[in-house]
Structure 1
Amino acid sequence: MKLNLRVYFTICLLLPLGLSAQETVYAAGRQVKMETSAEEPSGPSLRSALDRLGKQHRISFAYNSRLIAGKSVPSSFSAGKRSLDAVLDEILPPLQLEYRRIDEALYVIRPMQLHEINIAVPVKGSVKDSEGNPLPGVTIQVKGTSIGTVSQPDGSFTLNAPDANVTLIFSFIGYDPQEIPLQGKTTVDVVMSASTSQLEQVVVVGYGTQRKRDLTGSIGSVRGEEITKQPVNTATQGIQGKVAGVQIISSGAPGSQPLVRVRGTGSMLAGAEPLYVVDGVLTNDIRNINTADIVSMDILKDASSAAIYGVRAANGVVIITTKSGRTGKMEVSYNMTAGFREVANLVKMANSTQYLDYLEDAAPNVTIPPYNVSTNWYDAILRKGFQQTHNVSLTGGSEKFLYYFNAGFLTDEGIVNTNKYDRFTIRSNNEYRIADNLKFVAQFSYMTAKTQYVDLAGIYTNTYRAAPVIPVQQNGKYGNTAAFGNVGNPVLTIDKNDDRLKENRLQGTAYLEYSPWKSIRLRSSMSVNQSFYNRRRYGYQFLNNESTFLVAGGNQQRTESTLTLVREQNQDWIWDNTATFRQRFGDHDLTVLAGYTAQQFTGEYLEGTRRNVPMSEDLWYLIAGDPNSSTNTSEGDKYTRASILARLNYAYKDKYLLTASFRNDASSRFPSENRNGYFPAVGVGWVLSREDFFSGQEIFDFLKLRGSWGRIGNDNIESNLYILTGNTGQLYFFGGQPTLGTSLSDIKDRNLKWETTEEYDIGLEFTTLKQRLTGEINYYNKQTIDALVGVRIPGLLGDPDNEYITNAGSFTNKGWEFTLQWKDKISDELDYTFGGNLTFNKNEVTGLNQGQPLFRGGVGQQGNISQTASGHPIGSFYIFDAQGVFVNQAEIDAYVNKDGERIQPDARPGDLRYRDADGDGAITNADKIFAGSYQPKFYYGINAGVNYKNVDFSLDFYGNAGNHIYNGKKAFRYEITDNVEAAYADNRWKADRPSSTDPRILAANMPASTYFMESGSFFRLNNITLGYALPKDLLERINMQQVRIYLTSQNLFTVKQFSGFSPEMISSNPRSNGFISTQNSASPLEAGIELNPYPTTRTYAVGLNVTF
């Protein structure tokens, strides 16, 4: 390289100093021989080490060759990713050398000045986490100096300290820093604890990471170990109650995915689920993710944080980071749980005595079967289900190659007979360091799963309504409930249907990352998400005669066997290209991200059915059935997206923070004139605790005020909804002659565009009481416009029962979030934690289809129950207001209008009394009221934990309040012989026992009213865990790193008012037709109606964690 004149003269002046360099020098009147410690074997020569450093950092060293001749660095030396100055500060002082920086590209090596020479004190030791795992990359620095090093892959370190009384500072991201005075010691073993304040923790944001203290948006984080301590099968179930602003609605069905709502219901039609990002793979379904593979889950709640994902971020973003390898010898872990599940709460139905008493009033002329039984139909269909998980993982690597591999198996028997879910997963995450500035990362996972379904809609309905006077089976034949004028036998429904689903999922990400300079990182990533579904439904033939039943009759039969086969395959690929610049200029910290992404999804669905297929499983193919009965259908979907994105993060003195981002999305799901969406966001933060005027106070250790604004979108709808389609086969007559033609099948909106959400967020974060108490307060205001809704087609234009999709709605979600967490360490053997979070949310429709409401949610003959209208929450109950029961005729006669006429002239004693809400003197549809919503006014989570020596104990609670549930199964009545709940049988109105609360009979034609509406509030002990870890001295004797055994229970008890199975409800079966992959899509317009839910379950399990 060319040297300028100033550099040339500098070298000429400094190099002669090297001519007097000797291996023996004099200091303070003593002869001191300086050499590498005997405990540090000689490694590479100093010359070769300097050559490598020069190439790595693109600089030159100037030195006298005789000065460094024969000198070497310790064999354990590794530059790693440390700064050049830190490396030189480690290797030169023990050799009595020092350096001087001339300019950006030139360093001069010279002898250490005599007044700077000290006797180096070699210090060694190790750094581990609280579980005994080595921590590589921990920075160890001599306090007040630039002398330092980092821990090696096995956690060990060596350091030459100036003297034996200095203080060493140990620091590592995500852990509390420690200061250790040497006090003459030369061996130091340190155990680092996870950061108490959590401010130093790194959270994953879109296309990057940030320290939590630097965030200007609202992001909630949950560590993987908080999820795996629970006997849950899906990641989202494990974060229930752990993050403010995130509502989790679980189901007891094996293989189901909980519903997740981030800051309220985010859409009426376009899906309200968040976007999931798993190691860069964007997906809507994470049932294939093994919880044992998860390092962390970061939930981007506000628009400014999520806007970097643009059109897919309207409902929040959940980023899942999986485990990766680490340098060091291979670590083998085995984790397992085994236990059983049972129904957490059952509805108590009337026994035979209560039922017969009820029939005397409801159907006095019915002939009672002579079986003399009292059947508990729930006992007949339910069981205790066995549950087990097993995971084996391998972790390790070197400086060039890191690997993580895990294989996991799960068995989950449902509480309904024959219902079962089996899953096998594999994950392999590998990182190859091709060069110091170039790496290749490959991450992939594979899942294969089998689900044995049951017909929940038919089974639960029939079990609830089945008459207890009919036996399940006798002498190998089924009790014929249908012949009694009742519903079908639910046990026969299970036995005579076989419904199996096989899934195969492959997800993978591969990226190349290159850093041409220290401040720039270029990454190109390709992600693939493939899914394959094979579903087979076989219905056995059976007749309603005595070959099947104890008695003939009824309508429960299948005269021909049926076989339906479903095949679905989907492929989604994403190509991401990003460039990141990060540099600190004095007090200024700047990070700039820019990128381009492209995505394509293709999906195919095919379904075929034939009848009279033989009952042998070996012949369950369509070709084996009657070809004249063949039916088939198919669907397809394909869409693409292209996006550009950018983000800027700026911090001044770690005190003033700024984040600005922008994304432009183009989606093929909309017409060309509306395909592009622009999603900007900005956030600012002010760390008040770093201001000078805060330096004297002792209340807050950290205090930050932040605010943000952002715009995000939602295009989660079917493709091509704006394209007109036609039906063939339409006959037209010309000149009296029929001509085959095509007719339009429906009306489409050619101006269709995506939903847009703008959100304002203000937050306050703090730590106090010596970082023992951490808190956060947030206020948010989300406004969604151009909401997609289904609008009835005017009768003049077509079928008024059909709808077309258009942008005709708007609504808001406003709320407060509060989080507090206390952590304290009483001694080295005892620490504890206690905390919780609370969220208030108000959802309100602000505009809808020119004021026309949306009606949904029918139950039996009661018609629509839910209505979405301006001024009310989405999916509110719109029903009659029942105000008790007419105890006698006098009360009926007294209930009159202003003209003295009876308001309910046809009522009888024991009937429900309905409020004349509009005051017109009669009960009409105009008297229906908005009676509440399924959306809670607030929800919360509470956690507590204690660790004493080797024992750990934790509790997690979850609940919500202010919402309502419509007890649809109680209202859903077809036959007068249907069974009733025991409480109603005992408390209903009777002539000799008048009741003012429960009517005389429950009839099919009863209107929807508040009588069937109940409180959905509940408080639940979500998880309790007690664990014991073997002591470290014992582990060392048996050559193991960790052995922990624990007992755990999920959903141990629930305090609730709801009389049904559970205040949490979710659809449990895939759709009977159409794409299986959309099975968990639940409509917010008709939620909160309990009709056929899968009961919530209680789990008891024992677990084992072993690490070699």
Structure 2
Amino acid sequence: MKILLKGILFLLLSLPITSIAQSTVSGTVVDATGQMPIPGVNVLVEGTTNGTTTDFDGNYTLSGVNEGATISFSYLGFRTQTIPFTGQSNLDVTLTEDAAELDAVVVVGYGTTTKKDLTGSVSLVGEKDFNKGNNVTAENLLNGRVAGLTINTGGSPGASSEIRIRGGASLNASNSPLIVIDGLPINNVASGGRSVLSSINPADIESFSVLKDASAAAIYGNRGANGVIIITTKKGKQGLKVNFDSQASVARLTDKIDIFNANDYRSLINERFPDQTGFLGNANTDWQDAIYQDAFSSQHNLSVSGNIADILPTRLSVSRADQEGLRKTSSFERTTTSLSLNPRFFDGALKIDFNANLSWERNRFAPGVEGSAFQFNPTQPIYDPNSRYGGYYEYTNENGLALGNVPRNPVAQLMQTQDIASVRRYYGNFKVDYKLPFYEPLRAVVNLGIDNSESDRFFEIDRNSALGTNALEGEELGVRSDTDFKSSNRLLDAYLVHTKAFGDFNTEITAGYSYQIFENENFTTGNVRDPNAAPPELTLDPDVVLLAYFARGNFNYKQKYFLSASIRRDGTSRFGEDERFGYFPAISGAWQLSDEDFLKDSNTVSLLKLRAGYGITGQQDIGSAYDYLARYGLGNTISQYQFGDQFYTIGQPFYRNAGIKWEEITEYNLGLDYGFLNGKLSGSLDFFRKESDDLLSQAPVPDGVNFSNQGFQNIGKFTTQGIEFVVDYNLASNEDFNWNVNYNVTYIDREIDRLAFGQDILVQGIAGGTGNTIQVQRQGFAPNSFFVYRQLYDTAGQPIEGAYVDVNGDGILNDDDKYIAGNGRADVTMGFQSSMNYKNWDFSFNMRASFGNDIYNNVNSGNAQYGNVFRTVLNNVPTQVLESDFVNTPDVILSDYYLEDADFLRMDNITLGYTFDEDKIGKGSLRLWTGVQNVFVITDYSGLDPEITNNGVDNTIFPRGRTFLFGLNYGF
């Protein structure tokens, strides 16, 4: 406490002494709506650096003002006022809100700017533009809202998402963007089985800034290769405000894999396998229906914001989310608490921001039993009162013991398995921004951040389960293990910001230092019920340290000509001393054509800005932390050395690449922002090209030259280029009716330019057979291209089993006859949003579309053959076998017959709401709403869902349900 008081006293003594001999004006600034004082308003004598800010009561005092000068009053979200100074000693000002100006503020790396000042490709999505619906994880608030940004979220409760900006930039290193929350870069890896974004309460988020091109993201250097998403959370504001949001929903299954029902299955067996009819039962079981349920969910959010004792802007929020999954036993629970304190001292010269977030999650993961569900004999029952396996029917031998290598009862797997992870996570930052009293254009900023999580994962298979250890010998031990995982992310940013105007020339220069360290610790007991299991193990992952020195300059002349340049020197502990550091520069400029004399008076063109940018970003985010070092590890029981009758554990060398280095992504961007009819029609057009060089990829190693047959190497180069187009149109805007639509489309083309030695790299293993892959990395083609045989068909259009085109004509069918048949990434993605308000009613919907990619249907290729019907026991198969008539050819899974068009149009959300007039409910506002999520999907794909991850390979997924929602929003 004494140290704090001394620090405050020092700051007070450091304040500049103003001259009392000059003219002084003072007053109060209030808002026009509620006549409430506004703290932090910028009060400036135009053409000078003489200025101040209002205190928490909206009061200001400005000295050194000459008669005839003009004083401007500006504040985020309000229209700027300029008033001539005529010698008055008191000047009270009322500011009116300006929603357009509020939307114009964009958070970028280590600072903020406005849309008008932007030179890079940056998209802002504010709260009013967020997607409606059952958005449990934060990223789904902006799915489909930003051109070039794709978000693919799984169907499980609280599921993580595959997030890509402009298609990603790497082959095997991370393709996920950097996530920054209130200035804290987080490591968006799974913790307890979920992405860390699942820990954030979406109701606490105020806006997203999406930095798409390198000129915008290069300030984050070592982590900006795949773009940056900056999340800004809500802060305390003037005046007490209380909000309560509540919603409930139910999700239902929309589709199932097409397999034979019990009666059709009996007909199939009687017709094609008459000697196996004895394996048929008397039940009629739909195993897919048996593993799914209607899933109920609820979310409740309460927030309170205002000033404590009129000096401390504060916001406190508490939320609770409960989400069931469609797959039985799966669930997700989350409780979050967030606190934001944002005091301002010394007329705004000292700004302090404290953000603290605490979350607790409980995840129950349900095992993936879809494969068992569509294979299990539909004529057999779910339950068997004579079963030794918990009363569930299982395939057994004459002794009543479970058979091996057969499907297990999927309902029993769900009910007899507990996989529960509890995650405690706290994260936040403490930021001090101080305008130096001895030189006001200079600010010093220090930002300290922390992100810690602890997860306890409990896994148990019941002793009565047929999956239990040694169940085949009649000794059902089950499985039980515990895993504790701890992760820590600590950050220090320290930088100076110099802002100064020289007449019409405005400058802002930022320079600083950043240090971040990541630590992970993992402890697992192994299976404590198995006496032969491995002993408990504690794993300390190597610390990963990132440090950087950075500088950026933003310049503009007459608010028409803009230039931004930055450079960052980054270091990472993942590389050796010779390759540890890299330099990542960027430069971009913009020309506000609409402010030129030939356009500024136009009644048609309200905005026309040309942008161009160039930058280099780095990539070092790979799974291996110390491949550059010579490392050894202890072998296990199968890698011991024998001396006489004694066996000794040996030290085994690991893969080493002493020259591993940065992957570098060079990006060029050319953009045009436009607005017509006084902003009624607006949007942007961007052309971009990314060149990824020194690709970090898992690649084969020649025999005898290393201690592994593969490892991370810098192996080549590939190029991504594309076009983004956005249009926003206010179709109607009057007192009773408003209608806005927004459309965005992105075209992306990716091609591998070079691989080491021109070698093909086979990737993406598939189910069915052993060791098969379905994709390839090849020069001249898109990454993860499908690599298959070309199927031959008879005159009736039926596929001929095992018959493929001899592409090279050598009379031999082998890998040389495979060809590239598309890839799993879309060429074109689209988003469309519509929002209407009629008096007290509001209606909105969101749609997305994807074109140009393919899906390999591994569900059909690995199962839809008659040869799979009887293998020890009777198995069900997809009804697609009736179309192909395939029996049992091993290489049929490598046929392009199973490649399908993955184009789709999806209606994500429809929402209808009504807001009651204040005089009908008393104090405050109340909105009731209802909606549907995942309304429909139009596609030719025959599987469950065309929107999948896994590079376009479908081998069953956790399905997405159709969700019906009801909710209310109340505030005062």
Q: TM-score range by the shorter chain?
A: 0.7 to 0.9
Using the alignment, how far apart are the partners of 2:800 and 2:330 within structure 1?
A: 42
SS in 2 for 1:358: helix
- Displacement of 1:1058 in angstroms is 1.3
The equivalent residue for 1:676 is 581
2:786 maps to 1:870? no
CA contact (8 A) 1:912 1:999 kept: no
Using the alignment, how far apart are the partners of 1:224 and 1:405 within structure 2?
A: 18
Residues 217 and 125 of structure 1, relative CA distance in 2, 3 Å threshold: closer
Residues 751 and 58 of structure 1, relative CA distance in 2, 3 Å threshold: same
- Displacement of 1:526 in angstroms is 0.9
- Which range moved further: 54-63 or 969-978? 54-63
The equivalent residue for 1:1039 is 923
2:179 is aligned, of 267, 270, 276, to 276
- Displacement of 1:699 in angstroms is 2.6
1:645 is aligned, of 550, 559, 568, to 550
- Displacement of 1:978 in angstroms is 3.0
2:954 is aligned, of 1083, 1090, 1095, to 1090
- Displacement of 1:956 in angstroms is 0.7
Residues 857 and 482 of structure 1, relative CA distance in 2, 3 Å threshold: farther
1:529 is aligned, of 423, 443, 451, to 451
Using the alignment, how far apart are the partners of 1:565 and 1:886 within structure 2?
A: 59
CA contact (8 A) 1:594 1:646 kept: yes
- Displacement of 1:128 in angstroms is 3.9
2:703 maps to 1:795? yes
The equivalent residue for 2:460 is 538
- Write out per-residue CA displacement over residues 383-431 of structure 1, whole angstroms, 9 at most, x where no aligned residue: 1111111111110016631111111110010011110000000110102
1:980 is aligned, of 877, 885, 888, to 877
Residues 771 and 179 of structure 1, relative CA distance in 2, 3 Å threshold: farther
Residues 374 and 426 of structure 1, relative CA distance in 2, 3 Å threshold: same
SS in 2 for 1:380: helix
- Which range moved further: 237-246 or 966-975? 966-975
- Displacement of 1:882 in angstroms is 1.7
Q: What are the residue-to-residue correspondences of 1:118-137 with 2, within 5 Å? A: 127-128=32-33
The equivalent residue for 1:766 is 674
Using the alignment, how far apart are the partners of 1:454 and 1:739 within structure 2?
A: 41
CA contact (8 A) 1:127 1:156 kept: no
- Write out per-residue CA displacement over residues 211-232 of structure 1, whole angstroms, 9 at most, x where no aligned residue: 1111010011111343363211
The equivalent residue for 1:424 is 335
- Displacement of 1:607 in angstroms is 1.2
Using the alignment, how far apart are the partners of 1:558 and 1:535 within structure 2?
A: 26
Q: Percent identity?
A: 29
1:408 is aligned, of 319, 323, 344, to 319
CA contact (8 A) 1:381 1:416 kept: yes
The equivalent residue for 1:508 is 428
Using the alignment, how far apart are the partners of 1:932 and 1:944 within structure 2?
A: 33
Using the alignment, how far apart are the partners of 1:300 and 1:719 within structure 2?
A: 27
Residues 265 and 357 of structure 1, relative CA distance in 2, 3 Å threshold: farther
The equivalent residue for 1:809 is 716
The amino acid of 1:791's aligned partner reads A
Using the alignment, how far apart are the partners of 2:59 and 2:432 within structure 1?
A: 30
- Displacement of 1:445 in angstroms is 0.4
Residues 154 and 1019 of structure 1, relative CA distance in 2, 3 Å threshold: farther
SS in 1 for 2:199: coil
Residues 191 and 368 of structure 1, relative CA distance in 2, 3 Å threshold: farther
Residues 711 and 497 of structure 1, relative CA distance in 2, 3 Å threshold: same
2:866 maps to 1:963? no
- Displacement of 1:265 in angstroms is 2.7
SS in 1 for 2:130: helix
Using the alignment, how far apart are the partners of 2:473 and 2:901 within structure 1?
A: 36
- Write out per-residue CA displacement over residues 436-473 of structure 1, whole angstroms, 9 at most, x where no aligned residue: 322332111011100111111xx011112222111222
2:25 maps to 1:88? yes
The amino acid of 1:790's aligned partner reads Q
- Displacement of 1:724 in angstroms is 2.3
2:965 maps to 1:1101? yes
- Displacement of 1:629 in angstroms is 6.8
2:821 maps to 1:911? no
The equivalent residue for 2:203 is 292
CA contact (8 A) 2:546 2:573 kept: yes
The amino acid of 2:793's aligned partner reads G
Residues 591 and 855 of structure 1, relative CA distance in 2, 3 Å threshold: same
CA contact (8 A) 2:802 2:891 kept: no
Using the alignment, how far apart are the partners of 2:650 and 2:952 within structure 1?
A: 41
The equivalent residue for 1:1014 is 900
- Write out per-residue CA displacement over residues 297-318 of structure 1, whole angstroms, 9 at most, x where no aligned residue: 1011000100011111101111
Unaligned runs of 5+ in 1: 1-52, 64-84, 92-123, 158-167, 181-186, 613-624, 892-908, 989-997, 1067-1085
SS in 1 for 2:894: coil
TM-score in terms of structure 1 length: 0.76
- Displacement of 1:583 in angstroms is 1.6
The amino acid of 1:210's aligned partner reads T
SS in 2 for 1:409: strand
CA contact (8 A) 1:220 1:300 kept: yes
- Displacement of 1:475 in angstroms is 4.2
Q: What are the residue-to-residue correspondences of 1:547-696 with 2, within 5 Å? A: 559-612=476-529, 626=531, 630=535, 632=537, 634-696=539-601
- Write out per-residue CA displacement over residues 463-512 of structure 1, whole angstroms, 9 at most, x where no aligned residue: 12222111222448323357798522111111221111010111020122
SS in 1 for 2:276: coil
1:496 is aligned, of 406, 412, 416, to 416
CA contact (8 A) 1:562 1:609 kept: no
CA contact (8 A) 2:767 2:955 kept: no
- Write out per-residue CA displacement over residues 145-171 of structure 1, whole angstroms, 9 at most, x where no aligned residue: xxx9999979999xxxxxxxxxx9997
The equivalent residue for 2:133 is 230
Q: What are the residue-to-residue correspondences of 1:437-516 with 2, within 5 Å? A: 437-456=349-368, 459-475=369-385, 477-481=391-395, 487-516=407-436
Using the alignment, how far apart are the partners of 2:919 and 2:98 within structure 1?
A: 20
Using the alignment, how far apart are the partners of 1:134 and 1:216 within structure 2?
A: 34
2:742 maps to 1:835? yes
SS in 1 for 2:808: coil
SS in 2 for 1:287: helix
- Which range moved further: 688-697 or 491-500? 688-697
The equivalent residue for 1:616 is none
CA contact (8 A) 1:153 1:326 kept: no
Using the alignment, how far apart are the partners of 2:649 and 2:480 within structure 1?
A: 34
- Displacement of 1:1015 in angstroms is 1.3
- Which range moved further: 355-364 or 1043-1052? 355-364
SS in 2 for 1:674: coil
The equivalent residue for 1:102 is none
The equivalent residue for 1:1056 is 939
Using the alignment, how far apart are the partners of 2:861 and 2:588 within structure 1?
A: 50
- Displacement of 1:559 in angstroms is 2.5
The equivalent residue for 2:158 is 255
Higher Rg of the two aligned structures = 1
Using the alignment, how far apart are the partners of 2:532 and 2:258 within structure 1?
A: 47
- State the Cα RMSD in Å: 3.6
Residues 815 and 133 of structure 1, relative CA distance in 2, 3 Å threshold: farther
- Write out per-residue CA displacement over residues 241-290 of structure 1, whole angstroms, 9 at most, x where no aligned residue: 10001011111111222110000132112111111000111112322111
Using the alignment, how far apart are the partners of 2:299 and 2:260 within structure 1?
A: 38
- Write out per-residue CA displacement over residues 824-865 of structure 1, whole angstroms, 9 at most, x where no aligned residue: 553222211011100000111111121112112222345111
2:787 maps to 1:856? no
The amino acid of 1:762's aligned partner reads L
CA contact (8 A) 1:467 1:486 kept: no
TM-score in terms of structure 2 length: 0.86
SS in 1 for 2:413: helix
Using the alignment, how far apart are the partners of 1:577 and 1:999 within structure 2?
A: 68
SS in 2 for 1:1014: strand
CA contact (8 A) 2:847 2:907 kept: yes
Give aligned pairs, total. Answer: 904
SS in 1 for 2:959: coil
- Which range moved further: 777-786 or 789-798? 789-798
The amino acid of 2:320's aligned partner reads F
The equivalent residue for 2:66 is none
- Displacement of 1:887 in angstroms is 5.7
